[in-house]
Amino acid sequence: MKIVIESTNFCTRWPCYFCDGHTSKTSLLAVAKPESGDNKGERVGDVCEECLKAGPDGMKRRVLEKATAAERYAKDMRTLAERLQGEPIDAPTHEEFVAAKAMQ
């Protein structure tokens, strides 16, 4: 993986490819590009300043932490989906929600 600095004219906070952080609003971005595989040299994501500060070993650790958190979330969502298959969901309609908001 190669991280390169590229300029942009679209200043916004982009999600970090390695962690759950975001880039700063700046005209320069650190961009992750694989050095092998099908998408060699293509932009796969942006890298936040915290990951840059962490360095290569820190980036590896942070992406592993993100993967572990994603696995936990996926497990929780699967459990919820399975539980909901066996029980009804009692919820207001969207129209009822909009009407309630209008009465605030």
pLDDT by 10-residue block (mean), the chain, 104 residues: 93 92 93 92 94 97 96 97 92 97 94
DSSP conformational letter for 48: -
pLDDT at 11: 85
Q: What pLDDT sits at residue 56?
A: 96
In this prediction the pTM is: 0.74
Residue 32 φ then ψ, to 5°: -85, 130
C-alpha–C-alpha distance, residues 100 and 102, integer Å: 5
**Cα–Cα–Cα angle for 20, 22, 25, nearest 5°?**
175
| pLDDT of the residue at 76 | 97
